[in-house]
């Protein structure tokens, strides 16, 4: 784990930079979109302690600005009551000359967290993990696809028939990407360096125009903040260079893109997943919890209609609720035998996830396994794709409706994430499913225009 991220975080100023004329206060909604507003310094000074009012509409609308209906709102939502974003001053950075940026959490008037606030969910799980003596170290591999056209051109084309940036030949690790692709990535990591986000590597990925950018291991809240901001930076650089970037699970009918999470649990700075003989007992229990909750967590890890189009055997994403030591065909890969690098790679999430909800789901599963001493099923030592139905390894839910049903019925995720969040999310996915099927989505197409229009630019 790199110490740089922690160092940058701890030395950040807690007041706007001297040249700032405005502060952008921001946080993700449930869909993973980074939402916020730019406020003057005077306004920011007045509200930084008490918070800034936001309409609950940010949790109430879908990606087409329709109000999401289908469940009984808790009392605090009322008829779209205001909620309050309180900035976390440890996240304050100079975003660009004249503009600072700070990430916040949503709170109710009584000072309690908004139960469906994604960032507060991570806080809750981190605190609960701490109560049993562990701190999580996490990292993410961000995948995205770049296109030559500007966003305006992409919109005019309905996000179809775009030209992959850097050449149309797909080849992982290929160094022959053209200069425009390299220039883009170098500009991205330059921006990351300037706002203090520690990255470890970037490379060409499997599909034409695709890249993978690895953020450095750190604590869960910082990782989520870095992840959300990295997406924003990748968009802004694309705007500046008149290209387009998409985090959609499948921006074209070809390859999909994921977001693998790497996780280890530390105690007193020592990696508790390490054991000289293989997975430690703690690692095994974390695996047990992650697999016990995987069917329900799929609804969070594969949040949109298009997310499920990735679940095809032999194409990369896991398709079975499975784990194995150094098995990249399984849903959870255990990396063992090294005091520093022993970890779990949770391979289920798509690139279109909400970072905070994803980490909350991963931490909930691992914590459930640790607290309840859940033994994992036998690891899969064969290829975990294409397994016979009767081999005892279940398939990952392959539709949005199967996944929300599994989440709705999952007592562990209900306990660790809260009934209110689960009910909210299940209702929102039911709405999404209904919108897709009844408003023009085509389940029989490889990728329908409805999906491109709805998901290409978001989250």
79 to 118, contacts with another protein by CB under 8 A? 79-80
Residue 76: CB minimum distance to another protein, A? 11
Q: Do β-strands 332-335 and 323-325 pair in parallel, antiparallel, or remain unpaired?
A: parallel
C-beta separation of 219 from 136 below 8 A: yes
φ, ψ of residue 93 in degrees (nearest 5):
-140, 160
Residue 66: CB minimum distance to another protein, A? 10
Q: Does 65 bind another protein (CB under 8 A)?
A: no
Q: Which residues of 212-229 are buried (b: 16+ CB within 10 A; e: fewer)?
A: bbbbbbbbbbbbbbbbbb
Q: Does 71 bind another protein (CB under 8 A)?
A: yes
Give the residue, chosen from 135, 399, 453, 458, that forms a contact with another protein under the rule CB under 8 A: 399
181 to 220, contacts with another protein by CB under 8 A? none
d(CA 289, CA 281): 13
Cis check: omega of the bond before 459, within 30 degrees of 0: yes
Q: Does 442 bind another protein (CB under 8 A)?
A: yes
Name the segment binding another protein (CB under 8 A); options: 120-128, 236-244, 294-302, 397-405.
Answer: 397-405
φ, ψ of residue 427 in degrees (nearest 5):
-65, -40
d(CA 32, CA 300): 11
Q: Which x/- pattern over 309-348 shows residues binding another protein (rule: CB under 8 A)?
A: ----------------------------------------
Q: Does 236 bind another protein (CB under 8 A)?
A: no
Name the segment binding another protein (CB under 8 A); options: 34-42, 153-161, 223-231, 433-441.
Answer: 433-441
Name the segment binding another protein (CB under 8 A); options: 134-142, 234-242, 246-254, 429-437.
Answer: 429-437
The four Cα atoms 124, 128, 130, 135 give a dihedral, to 10 degrees, of -70
Give the residue, chosen from 37, 78, 178, 186, that forms a contact with another protein under the rule CB under 8 A: 78
Query: In this complex, which beta carbon is closest to another protein, that of residue 58 or of residue 197?
Result: 58
> Got the DSSP string for 268-281?
TTEETT--TTSS-H
Tokens of 402: 């199967």
- Residues at the site binding another protein, with contacts judged by CB under 8 A: 67-73, 77-80, 399, 401-402, 423, 427, 430, 434, 437-445, 448
């Amino acid at each position: 784990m790199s110490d740089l991220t922690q160092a940058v975080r701890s030395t950040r100023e807690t007041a706007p930079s001297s040249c700032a004329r405005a502060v952008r206060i921001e946080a993700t909604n449930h869909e993973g979109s980074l939402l916020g507003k730019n406020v003057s310094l005077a306004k920011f000074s007045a509200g930084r302690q008490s918070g800034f009012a936001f309409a609950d509409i940010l949790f109430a609308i879908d990606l087409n600005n329709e109000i999401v209906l289908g469940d009984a709102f808790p009392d605090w939502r009322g008829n779209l009551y205001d909620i309050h974003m309180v900035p976390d001053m440890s996240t304050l950075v100079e975003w660009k000359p004249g503009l600072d940026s700070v990430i916040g959490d949503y709170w109710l008037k009584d000072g309690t967290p908004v139960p469906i606030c994604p960032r507060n969910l991570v806080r809750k799980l981190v605190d609960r993990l701490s109560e049993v003596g562990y701190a999580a170290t996490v990292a993410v591999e961000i995948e995205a696809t770049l296109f030559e056209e500007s966003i305006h051109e992409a919109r005019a084309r309905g996000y179809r028939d775009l030209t992959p940036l850097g050449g149309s030949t797909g080849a992982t690790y290929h160094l022959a990407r053209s200069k425009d692709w390299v220039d883009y990535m170098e500009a991205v990591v330059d921006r990351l360096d300037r706002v203090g986000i520690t990255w470890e590597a970037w490379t060409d990925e499997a599909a034409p125009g695709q890249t993978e950018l690895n953020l450095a291991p750190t604590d869960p809240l910082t990782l989520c903040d870095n992840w959300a901001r990295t997406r924003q930076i990748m968009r802004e650089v694309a705007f500046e260079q008149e290209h387009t970037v998409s985090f959609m699970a499948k921006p074209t009918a070809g390859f999909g893109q994921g977001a693998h999470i790497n996780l280890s649990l530390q105690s007193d700075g020592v990696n508790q997943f390490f054991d000289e003989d293989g997975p430690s007992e703690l690692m095994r229990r974390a695996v047990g919890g992650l697999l016990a909750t995987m069917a329900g967590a799929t609804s969070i890890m594969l949040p949109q209609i298009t997310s499920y189009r990735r679940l095809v055997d032999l194409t990369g994403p896991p398709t079975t609720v499975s784990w194995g030591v150094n098995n990249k065909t399984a849903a959870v890969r255990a990396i063992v035998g090294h005091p520093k690098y022993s970890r779990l790679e949770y391979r289920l999430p798509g690139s279109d996830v909400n970072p905070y909800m994803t980490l909350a789901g991963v931490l909930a599963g691992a914590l459930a396994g640790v607290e309840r001493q859940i033994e994992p099923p036998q690891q899969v030592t064969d290829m975990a794709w294409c397994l016979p139905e009767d081999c005892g390894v279940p398939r990952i839910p392959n539709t949005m409706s199967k996944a929300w049903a599994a989440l709705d019925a999952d007592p562990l995720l209900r306990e660790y994430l809260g009934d209110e969040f689960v009910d909210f999310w299940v209702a929102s996915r039911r709405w999404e499913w209904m919108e897709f099927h009844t408003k023009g989505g085509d389940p029989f197409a490889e990728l329908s225009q409805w999906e491109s229009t709805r998901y290409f630019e978001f989250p």
